Amino acid sequence: MTEWDEQKRRESKFRTFLSRIPKEHSFDAEDRAALRTLARYAKVFPAKHIFKYFGESKPDAVLILDGVAARVRLTEKGSRRILGFVLAGELSIAPTSTAYATYELIAQGACLAVTVPWYTLRMLEQEHSNIRRFLEWHAQKEICVLQDKFVAMSGAQVEEKLTYLLEDIYSRLENVEKAESGRMSLPLKQRDMADAVGASVVQVSKTLSKM
């Protein structure tokens, strides 16, 4: 693949991110041009790469262009607990509440991604008011996502947790026309789903076969 082809691939993947932005966050031509410059810094990260620890005072943002990353927190017993997934075309920035800001973002497989330094985010916010409002909304949304998952997973059975997880992923893929008519290409392994719902791989496998 030539450098030109690679640049085109990055821009194509970046359009998926732009298509995910809600219509109420209208961007003008200058806003979109500023955001598109981020695609130039995309590169492929290997599986298990730790993008950032979201407990730092000035964490980078991470834009996944292709692949899947997981928000992971270590439990007191030393095991990992997946708090949620960041799919292709989605941005992960630190939540505004410190109660939900202590986790790592880890590539679940090879990922094409952009890490956006904290100072770059601040510069975008200062120069583009529409982008600033979008980033403020997105940071608050991160809290809502983590809160909703905590409520949905608390006290539920494995089948209920898996149903919530699959429906959530389906709706997000459907928004960018990557799922339709009840079908999708699931970008997760059973081990990932097991970590996300707090069950064993065997439990997940048996439950999926019944669904």
Going residue by residue through the chain, which has 211 residues, state the pLDDT in tens, using 9 for 90 and above: 677 777 777 778 888 888 888 877 888 999 989 988 888 888 999 999 998 766 566 678 899 998 999 988 777 776 778 888 888 888 888 665 455 556 788 999 999 999 988 889 899 999 999 999 988 888 777 766 666 665 556 667 888 888 888 888 888 888 777 888 888 888 888 888 888 888 889 998 888 888 7
Question: Which three-class secondary structure state does DSSP give residue 180?
Answer: strand
CB 8 within 8 Å of CB 78: no
What element of type H or E holds 74?
strand 69-74
Q: For residue 20, give both structure tokens.
A: 């995910």
To 10 degrees, what angle do helices 201-210 and 158-174 make? 70
Question: Which three-class secondary structure state does DSSP give residue 113?
Answer: strand
